Structure 1
């Protein structure tokens, strides 16, 4: 006798417990905010302060590239963290990996605040910085994959996109917190004091992340569907990565390419900040001014992410991801042109449009879309590995941008804008080649991935209600 998705859900809730999407979403939101506070803090410091104190050089181009390269180093360790933490999350549970990842991230970021500068210990300073950045990258690799899997598996089918978007909103809130802490320090402290000790304060505040992470994450309950799978006696893959590459190789490749859409943020909030503030480019904006630009971009994202998440439940996720990626990629060059015009009001308008609206169409929906592409047994691994391999490659875009459009070169907005748009077009094509998930229950998607059976919506006779 066949079991319908409704019967399956009822059996789960009777035997294990009810799904709790609100608690899962809140846990994902808070945890992502705290963990991405740490990660975003380093990203800001790498563009604003680290070139001067960790990589002194008479050539400003070398200092900028070196600092942005340490930003990229954090992404090098992310695939390793994705493999290890993804397997941990698939085999041991989503809750365990979330607690461990946050504690490790808090430790690494706190330690950055204690580092000596190049002037104090020479080459040892950037070496220690790179080691801690590698630990950061390893830790953050398990955050979004575990959190979004937890939320998707707790959520009702009709609201997966809405609830899962809160973990993405949390990442933006973390960036806001990082900017909000750095902003008054950069604005009110003399440059000498900010470079000596002021920049350390936000990193040392990560001690609170360690405590908060433990208190929040240890109370999270595993999704009933995951517990049911564990109790069913089904063997879990010993090596989820091997299972992923054996059974879903092209899904993995497409998700990697789709992740390149993050080039929009790399061009605007990473390279764009260097372009606007570093002396070598001669634009002349101050660090505090562009902390405000970053803050406004993230505030706009906090507002739009749940709206686009909810919209993806109604109209589907592929269309939003394609429109957001192509639109944001096309207008990224316009944002850099606004910087070139030295018009701060125009910069604010452009960053809200590019980063707060178009990019969030993609960002608010990709986590749910990626999770829906993989079966439960390898869901955390599939999401984490594909996302972090993609981000590892994309993280070198800012350094490449600086190399192809170094200080003193002409037509910087045009060169970087066209490059960004081309990458986004490739990502959009990968999205269009991926199967849509609109109107599909999670149970139907699971059955389709496990048994290659037709989706329930495909089995309905013509005219049947969905």
Structure 2
């Protein structure tokens, strides 16, 4: 496979950084658009189309469960794509993931309902959701590395913030499209075919994503890695686990907080607003769009601030802010007053994405090149598996157990937020670290020979 090494001479390295972050940002936003569409319709339309035999609460739980299945598949995508990305290069994997995501989304838009093919409808829905999750699992980390390994040390945070805006940008796009369709179509027409339109049009996103990424060379860090003996020594996935499991676990536990809160806002909050509070769907979509505008500024602000004060201080600031907002979030939503609801959702999602804007660079700087894709992907997708995907389902269940009171949901999120903050505080500062470092060949040889080295040895014994 072409790693892009021979193409390196076709564009100056100085110009490749902006091109790489543009390709990574747009391509990832397109993939997140597909993924986010499903989150929105799973909370509103899919329960009655694919789980009609259940009562409304169980149908909603089942529908949100299929959303969680997509997140559960992300670690598998992360493991396989992470290993291949550390072996074969970042660029090739990025071309593959955007293709897989787009094709799965088109098929999802064409999928018959339960009334048409019976139990096969939810089965195929889950299968396509697994494929989507697999693609996004490989995409998320790969796009981050493609941009950050092209970036100069003083711009990594800024580039990271640009990558962090992919999710809120996709939320705006997805909810904007659904809002437009819901406004133009009758309720029956929207439920029948309107929600399918953006999924079917995903084939356009596939073409755009592939075209953009073909214009970017392989990253300098990976090109340098291929010139060393470490590139041929060992297995990236095994080395990430053996050498760097402490780092993987710390970063995974840190991101459990932001992942849970993100899906609490963009999936469960939409269900809470439209079903529990009985606010119209159009208003719910509009609130999420407004909150995601704030999230774009939050992601950019977090990344840029981390270049100035460091990753650790900036992350601690964002984590503290979300912790405080948790205690008033549902009380303000319960007012059913549009402006206060918009403000609190904007602040909550803004400070959550403030941390997500720093996450790409914080994760990338924590690992050497030869295990960077594998280690980062394991931590990122592991957090989404543990708390991101289950959060909407857990929140619906807790709301039922507490008889409509959201304080059970708040309690769980506070605990996760405190865990996240603790992991930030015990971690090292990585701002300015050498991104071209790799584990020494002797270290890799020692591991595969069975010698007991500490898990963090790879971080400290870099060459």
Q: Calculate the TM-score normalised by the size of structure 2.
A: 0.89
CA contact (8 A) 1:237 1:243 kept: no
**Does 2:16 align with 1:23?**
no
Tell me, in whole angstroms, the C-alpha distance in 2 between the residues paired with 1:224 and 1:381. 18
- The equivalent of 2:292 in structure 1 is 298
Matched with 1:276 is 273
Q: How does 1:197-236 map to 2 (within 5 A)?
A: 197-236=193-232
Alignment RMSD: 2.3
| Alignment partners' CA distance in 1, 2:462 and 2:211 | 43
Any conservation in 1 of the 2:21–2:148 contact (CA below 8 Å)?
A: no
Offset at 1:332?
3.1
Q: Aligned-pair distance for 1:134?
A: 0.1
Q: Is the 8 A contact 2:105 2:132 kept in 1?
A: yes
Matches of 2:436 and 2:210 in 1, distance apart? 32
Alignment match, 1:415: 408
Q: Tell me what 1:436 maps to.
A: 429
Instruction: Provide the secondary structure at the position in 2 that maps to 1:48.
Output: coil
Aligned residue for 2:393? Answer: 399
The whole-number CA distance in structure 1 between the counterparts of 2:228 and 2:238 is 22
For residues 408-459 of structure 1, the C-alpha deviation after alignment (integer angstroms, 9 at most, x for no partner) is 81422x221222111110011112222111343435798997573599xxxx
Q: Which residue does 1:56 correspond to in 2? A: 52
**Partner of 1:336 in structure 2?**
330
- Distance across 1 between alignment mates of 2:233 and 2:101: 27
Contact 2:291 2:343 in 1 (8 A): no
> 2:242 is matched with which residue: 246, 249, 273?
246
Relative to 1, partners in 2 of residues 1:154 and 1:454: Cα closer, same or farther, differing over 3 Å? closer
Residue 130 of structure 1 aligns with which residue?
126
Deviation at 1:374, TM superposition (A): 0.7
Where 1:409 maps in the other structure, the secondary structure is: coil
1:57 and 1:337, CA in 2 relative to 1: closer, same or farther beyond 3 A?
farther
Could you say which residue in structure 1 is the equivalent of 2:346? Answer: 352
1:333 deviation in Å? 4.4
**How big is the shift at 1:74?**
0.3
Task: Tell whether the 8 Å contact from 1:318 to 1:436 is kept in structure 2 after alignment.
Answer: yes
CA separation of 1:56/1:287 partners in 2, compared to 1, >3 Å: closer, same or farther? Answer: same
Whole-Å separation in 2 of the counterparts to 1:301 and 1:256: 22
Deviations 1:72-92 (A, max 9, x none): 000111111101111111111
Deviation, 1:206, is 0.3
Please state how far the C-alpha of 1:331 moved relative to its aligned partner.
1.3
Question: SS where residue 131 of structure 2 aligns?
Answer: helix
Q: Which moved more, 1:315-324 or 1:242-251?
A: 315-324
Unmatched 5+ stretches in structure 2: 1-7, 441-455
Q: Is the 8 A contact 2:439 2:461 kept in 1?
A: no
CA distance in 2, matches of 1:17, 1:449: 35
1:330 Cα offset (Å): 3.1
Retained in 2: the 8 A contact 1:32–1:168?
no
1:389 is aligned to 382
Pairs aligned (count): 438
Q: Which piece of structure 1 moves more, 402-411 or 177-186?
A: 402-411
Q: Which residue of 1 aligns with 2:312?
A: 318
Alignment of 1:83-232 (within 5 A): 83-232=79-228
Structure 1 residues 385 and 133: alpha-carbon distance in aligned structure 2, compared to 1, 3 A threshold: same
- C-alpha separation in 1, matches of 2:327 and 2:199: 32
Q: Name the counterpart of 2:446.
A: none
Judged with a 3 Å threshold, the aligned counterparts in structure 2 of structure 1 residues 120 and 443 are, in CA distance, closer, same or farther, namely: closer
Match of 1:10 in 2: none
- 1:297 shift after superposition: 1.4
> Of residues 292, 307, 320 in structure 1, which corresponds to 2:301?
307
Shift in Å at residue 174 of structure 1?
2.0
Judge which range, 189-198 or 225-234, deviates more: 225-234
Contact 2:320 2:421 in 1 (8 A): yes
Q: Is the 8 A contact 1:268 1:332 kept in 2?
A: no
Q: Is the 8 A contact 2:402 2:408 kept in 1?
A: no
Q: Whole-Å Cα distance in 1 between the matches of residues 62 and 13 of structure 2?
A: 50
CA spacing shift, 1:58–1:232, aligned 2, 3 Å? closer
Q: Provide the residue aligned with 1:376 in structure 2.
A: 369
The CA distance in 2 between the partners of 1:388 and 1:367, in whole Å, is 12
Shift of 1:233: 4.2
